[in-house]
Amino acid sequence: MSITTHSYGTTKHGEKVDLFRLENKRGTLVEIINYGATITSILTHDREGTLSDIVLGFDDIAGYESADNPYFGATCGRFANRLKKGSFTLNGTSYQLAKNDGENALHGGLRGFDKQIWEAQVNADTLILKRVSPDGEEGYPGNLLVEVTFQLTEENDLRIDYQAETDQPTFINLTNHSYFNLAGGGTIRDHHIQIHADHYTLVDETAIPTGELRAVEGTEMDLRCSLAIGTHIDQVQGLGYDHNYCLNQTDGSLTIAAQVIDPSSGRTLTCLTTEPGVQFYSGNFLNSFIGKAGNIYAKQNGFCLETQHFPDSPNQPSFPSTQLNPSDRYTQTCVYRFGIEK
């Protein structure tokens, strides 16, 4: 597996952006920029041997900096997903964050990890991206040292390892926000998905968890057996799937969370994680975005599998804790495994 480095231009603030191209002997190719630790391209083969890009994104840094960017391929933090009213209490102290999703905070705030330049290091077949999130950034306490490692294996696994340490108690929840389309374009309603979860976090009208872990059995949320994404999507609360599934794994081992197949191309995606949850998002808010090569991304033209802890965990005592203390190290792993169904 090889990694090459290329210039990707400069930000509107004059910061240099680099692109790192990871390629294995099968010809699978992944491109990542150090702006937002963002995956910009993933090229895989279909059953006929045709290589196509299977993630949504933009052609240049201006697109990723634009206000319209819906977190294409980005590393989200310091706290991915939503926090109710943009606030939490930690050890008796209340913290107010920016409200960038109605009355709630989303994906780290106005200038979260997705909008930062990361320090890059190439170590043999591994890309390491690091940054220090200073105490008070976006309202979060503690100086947080974060490291995200990307590795493309010869077995067609894109492995993402996360680590973080803090000098004060804080909350952390990281994820990758790639939008996949295994057909290389068009709707994802015909993709077949299976998620290994008996429950999901029920949410209110603002997509904040109520605290209830509701059983999927007998509902439109039941994806335990593989079925087309479009089968029940129009009956799902809101505009489609945008819910955290509580995975059946409980021991923190790396296990399969979800599997997706595109029958037309034969491409498959298996998502593995050590996290307790995966946010399945069916691209409901894609609204005629102009993306790569002038392609128009419309509603449900891409899906996300965001492996993470549950949304609003700091305000939900019954959820798995996302608190990180100075004596601890935050770690998690996500693997996106690419394959072909003959």
In the chain, what are the domain boundaries? 2-340
pLDDT per position as a tens digit, 65-77: 999 999 999 999 9
Enumerate residues 6+ apart whose C-beta is below 8 A from 167.
135, 142, 143, 326
Residue with tokens 């809101």: 238
For the whole model, what pTM was predicted? Answer: 0.97
Write the DSSP string, 119-141: EEEEETTEEEEEEEE-TTGGG--
What is the per-residue pLDDT for 32?
98
What pLDDT score was predicted for residue 276? 98
154 is catalytic: no
11 has pLDDT over 90: yes
Residue 17, pLDDT score: 98
Q: Which amino acid is at 190?
A: D
pLDDT, mean of residues 159-169: 98
Neighbours of 97 (CB within 10 A): 21
Mean pLDDT score of the chain: 97
- The 10s digit of each residue's pLDDT in 249-260 is 889 999 999 999
- pLDDT at position 29 over 90: yes
User: For the CA atoms of 191, 229, 30, 66, what is the dihedral angle to 10 degrees?
Assistant: 130
User: Which residue out of 147, 191, 306, 309 is catalytically annotated?
Assistant: 306
pLDDT at 288: 87
What is the structure's pLDDT at 1?
A: 84
Residue that has been written with the tokens 């089968």 in this structure: 231
Is residue 47 over pLDDT 90? yes
Return d(Cα 246, Cα 241) in angstroms, integer: 14
Which residue's structure tokens are 């509603």? Answer: 299
**How large a percentage of the chain has pLDDT more than 90?**
97
Mean pLDDT to the nearest integer, 167-186: 98
Buried/exposed code over 307-319 (b: 16+ C-beta within 10 A; e: otherwise) = bbbbbbbbbbeeb
In tens, the pLDDT along 259-270 reads 999 999 999 999
> If you average pLDDT over residues 134-162, what whole number do you get?
98
pLDDT band at 208 (very low <50, low <70, confident <90, very high): very high
Tokens of 186: 């068009």
CA 330 to the chain's CA centroid: 17
* Active-site annotation holds for 306: yes
Please state, in angstroms and as integers, the Cα–Cα distance from residue 335 to each residue in 150, 227, 300, following that order.
10, 22, 23
pLDDT at 250: 81
Dihedral angle at the C-alpha atoms of 94, 99, 104, 106, nearest 10 degrees?
-100
Q: 187-199, pLDDT tens digit by residue?
A: 999 999 999 999 9
Please enumerate in sequence order all residues whose Cβ is within 8 A of that of 139, keeping only pairs 6 or more positions apart, or say none. 86, 95, 96, 97, 98, 109
Q: Over 90: is that where the pLDDT of 342 sits?
A: no
Among residues 45, 177, 191, 243, which one is catalytic? 177
Q: Which fold has domain 2-340?
A: Beta-galactosidase; Chain A, domain 5 (2.70.98)
pLDDT band at 284 (very low <50, low <70, confident <90, very high): very high
User: Is residue 101 predicted with pLDDT exceeding 90?
Assistant: yes
Beta-bridged to residue 177, according to DSSP, are none
